[in-house]
């Protein structure tokens, strides 16, 4: 082929290829114009698909219901915690926007400043900030659950790249406060963000979780390409508003509960027992007015939780010892076999070939039955159940509820048990062996003696909010009437001998001005491993006391236990250090009019309002004591929170931006002082009971981060 023909063929091929390329461009261009005009490919809406690719949903958290004491004071309420984190990548900032990462040349400075605000060393923070290939780092527990005040202090340091994540939290202003009864809730992340919420882990918070929880809502929006910032475009039609949880009002009286915790802690440190319990009950209503145990834990910090998970009031059964004799004598009086002036031979009695002795091993000779009760004679109790018949005595124990679960409302409750197969076991139940009870069961049985023979169901919830907003009140509930009104009266009269007889076992519990019926107990503790009862001194027993005040018409029943004390001398002396001052305080308060619920109003939402506007809103609802914290012009946080009830004479705290100075706490209750401290980001050291008389940090002085302020109550 000639050179001319080759050149001509090559040109023809190039023309054909250029034509094909041009045709392809024409086809693709036409297709692109078509797509741009109709916005679809093969029936797929490209805009919708793009939106879906960057379509995001944020959770609108529901407010968990507030838990109040019987007077309307909040003892568990919602708050916001903050987790601090650092962004290390430069890729998350929008083009042209300010940088949001920690610059390399500022990491050491950032670590230095941050170490002054969280409990982590500068070296550890710097190590995290220099993590290779990390885009974001957190700071463990040290950087979690920060208060609003703490977050603001860090934010005011203007550290580039340091950010905060809000997280629902629970505020327990009283710390150690009926902790195993009230329980706690903590935030748990679910697979679906909308299901992440505060979940009750223990106590009332757990058992009323469905009532308190509410339902989260959500907000739909479009995210930008890096998913860090958001585009201001909402799909409001598909947004769902949250449904807040419902409130609860407990039977607990904060004034008495706080005082009980103080007394319990003092004796616990002095006597060093294995455990302690305390319950104060109104026998007319079944209200549990105060309840405590040791070991316990701080509801806010969880400090001490690992030492004791069990709610000892309902979750641990034990042989009660001589305090069961209250019920033995009541049954014997009902059956007509207890005759105060009739005599018997104390010391020993043989049952099924086994000798049962009085606690002093020798008895007191021939004595009247009333004297035997005052001396807590085991022999007398055995003779009484033998006289009425073992089966009759068993019937009474069942009617007193000692074999059934008491339906306390706590999921960890257990029922007591009775060993009643052998004659020796039957006899032993008369003085508190071969029978196991919980404090809740025993206190419920005692209400029959204190309430004219009518046994009342114990409850811890006084009233609760329903979905329609109405408040439903739990009415007193009678379970049974195991004894007559006359028998109850005679039983209380007989129990006075334990305090007022010269030889009574409870003379140490005498309270001037209050006539008491009392029964003490010193129960042997059975060692399952050794197959026998422990032996030794005070450390081998469970010591207890129950008191009815006043004895002629009891307003309260108080029951205390102390298991295996290892220091502090006689256990009954230790128990008296709780019994006497606490019952005195309870009887003093019972003479005062309870706080009026009608004077309580719902606190409005004033967050983000100007301070002047917020104050006017509160004054319109007759709140007189409005305290502004900080020097800013806008409210960034409030306590109580919106929707909560607050009496018009109690303070409302408004937190603003700017430097915080110490307010005057004089006259505040412990709860109010603790709420204030939480908002300010300071710690409280508390001495005494009552209301604030003195404070270590003078009013008006600037507040330092994590500062500890000591307050004296009187």
Is the separation of the CB atoms in 194 and 314 below 8 Å? no
CA angle 492, 460, 489 (to 5 degrees): 10
Which 3 state secondary structure label does DSSP give 396?
helix
Residue 134 makes CB contacts below 8 A (sequence gap 6+) with 88
Nearest to 321 by CA among 361, 364, 267, 376: 376
Q: Are strands 248-250 and 67-68 parallel, antiparallel or unpaired?
A: parallel
Is the separation of the CB atoms in 555 and 289 below 8 Å? no
> How far, in Å, CA of 176 to CA of 439, rounded?
20
Would you state the structure tokens that stand for residue 109, as one six-digit string?
Answer: 């400075």
Is the separation of the CB atoms in 653 and 627 below 8 Å? yes
- Which residues on neighbouring strands pair with residue 601, listed in sequence order? 646
Catalytic residue, candidates 147, 179, 322, 551? 322
- Assess whether the previous peptide bond of 161 is cis (omega < 30° from 0): no
Which 3 state secondary structure label does DSSP give 222?
strand
> How far, in Å, CA of 550 to CA of 458, rounded?
20
> How far, in Å, CA of 654 to CA of 358, rounded?
64
Count of CB atoms within 10 A of residue 171's CB? 22
Name the strand (E) or helix (H) holding 221: strand 217-223
Q: Assess whether 705 carries a catalytic annotation.
A: no
325-334 vs 439-450: helix crossing angle, rounded to 10 = 40
Is the separation of the CB atoms in 603 and 626 below 8 Å? no
Count of CB atoms within 10 A of residue 296's CB? 24
Please provide the distance, in angstroms rounded to a whole number, between the alpha carbons at the two ends of the chain: 120
Count of CB atoms within 10 A of residue 503's CB? 12
Would you state the structure tokens that stand for residue 174, as one six-digit string?
Answer: 């009283």
Q: Distance of CA 357 to CAs 61, 245, 535, 540, Å?
A: 64, 58, 16, 18
Please provide the size of the chain in residues.
714
Which 3 state secondary structure label does DSSP give 518?
strand
Catalytic residues: 322
């Amino acid at each position: 082929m000639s050179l001319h023909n080759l050149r001509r063929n090559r040109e023809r091929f190039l023309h054909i290829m250029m034509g094909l390329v041009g045709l392809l461009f024409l086809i693709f261009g036409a297709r692109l114009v078509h797509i741009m005009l109709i916005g679809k490919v093969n029936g797929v809406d490209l805009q919708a698909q793009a939106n879906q690719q960057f379509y995001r949903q944020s959770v609108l958290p529901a407010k968990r219901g507030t838990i109040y004491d019987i007077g309307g004071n909040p003892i568990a309420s919602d708050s916001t915690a903050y987790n601090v984190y650092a962004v290390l990548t430069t890729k998350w900032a929008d083009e042209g926007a300010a940088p949001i990462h920690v610059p390399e040349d500022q990491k050491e400075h950032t670590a230095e400043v941050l170490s002054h605000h969280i409990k982590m060393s500068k070296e550890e923070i710097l190590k995290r900030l220099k993590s290779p290939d990390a885009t974001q780092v957190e700071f463990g527990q040290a950087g979690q659950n920060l208060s609003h005040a703490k977050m603001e202090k860090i934010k005011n340091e203007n550290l580039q790249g340091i950010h905060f994540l809000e997280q629902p939290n629970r505020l327990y202003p009283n710390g150690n406060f009926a902790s195993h009864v009230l329980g706690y809730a903590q935030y748990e992340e679910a697979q679906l963000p909308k299901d992440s919420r505060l979940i009750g882990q223990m106590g009332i918070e757990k058992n009323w979780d469905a009532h308190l929880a509410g339902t989260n809502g959500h907000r739909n929006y479009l995210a930008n390409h890096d998913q860090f910032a958001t585009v201001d475009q909402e799909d409001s039609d598909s947004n769902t508003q949250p449904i807040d949880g419902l409130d609860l009002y407990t039977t607990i009286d904060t004034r008495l509960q706080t005082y009980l915790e103080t007394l319990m802690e003092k004796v616990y440190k002095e006597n060093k027992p294995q455990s302690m319990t305390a319950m104060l009950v109104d026998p007319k209503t079944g209200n549990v007015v105060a309840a405590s145990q040791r070991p316990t834990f701080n509801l806010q910090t969880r400090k001490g939780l690992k030492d004791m998970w069990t709610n000892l009031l309902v979750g641990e059964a034990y042989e009660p010892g001589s305090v069961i004799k209250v019920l033995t004598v009541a049954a014997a009086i009902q059956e007509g076999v207890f005759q105060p002036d009739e005599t018997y031979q104390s010391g020993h009695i043989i049952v099924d070939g086994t000798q049962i002795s009085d606690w002093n091993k020798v008895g007191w000779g021939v004595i009247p039955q009333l004297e035997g009760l005052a001396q807590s004679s085991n022999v007398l109790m055995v003779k009484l159940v033998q006289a009425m018949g073992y089966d009759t005595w068993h019937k009474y124990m069942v009617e007193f509820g000692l074999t059934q679960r008491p339906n306390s409302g706590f999921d960890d409750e257990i029922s007591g048990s009775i060993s009643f197969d052998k004659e020796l076991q039957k006899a032993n139940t008369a003085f508190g062996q071969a029978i196991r009870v919980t404090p809740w069961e025993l206190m419920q049985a005692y209400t029959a003696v204190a309430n004219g023979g009518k046994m009342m169901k114990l409850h811890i919830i006084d009233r609760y909010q329903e979905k329609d907003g109405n408040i439903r009140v739990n009415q007193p509930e009678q379970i049974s009437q195991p004894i007559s009104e006359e028998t109850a009266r005679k039983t209380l009269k007989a129990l006075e001998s334990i305090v007022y007889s010269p030889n009574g076992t409870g003379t140490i519990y005498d309270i001037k001005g209050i006539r008491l019926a009392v029964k003490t107990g010193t129960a042997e503790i059975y060692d399952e491993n050794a197959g026998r009862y422990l032996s030794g001194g005070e450390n081998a027993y469970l010591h207890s006391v129950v008191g009815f005040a006043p004895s002629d018409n009891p307003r309260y029943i108080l029951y205390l236990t102390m298991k295996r004390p290892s220091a502090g001398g006689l256990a009954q002396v230790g128990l008296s250090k709780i019994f006497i001052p606490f019952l005195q305080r309870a009887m003093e308060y019972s003479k005062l009019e309870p706080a009026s619920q009608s004077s309580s109003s719902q606190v409005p939402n004033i967050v983000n309002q100007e301070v002047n506007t917020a104050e006017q809103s509160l004054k319109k609802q007759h709140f007189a004591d409005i305290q502004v914290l900080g020097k800013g012009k806008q409210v960034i946080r409030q306590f109580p929170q919106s929707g909560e009830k607050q009496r018009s004479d109690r303070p409302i705290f408004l937190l603003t931006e700017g430097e915080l100075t110490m307010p005057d706490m004089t006259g505040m209750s412990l709860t109010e002082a603790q709420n204030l401290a939480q908002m300010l980001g300071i710690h409280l050291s508390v001495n005494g009971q009552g209301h604030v008389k003195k404070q270590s940090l003078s009013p008006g002085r600037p507040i330092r981060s994590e500062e500890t302020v000591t307050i004296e109550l009187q």
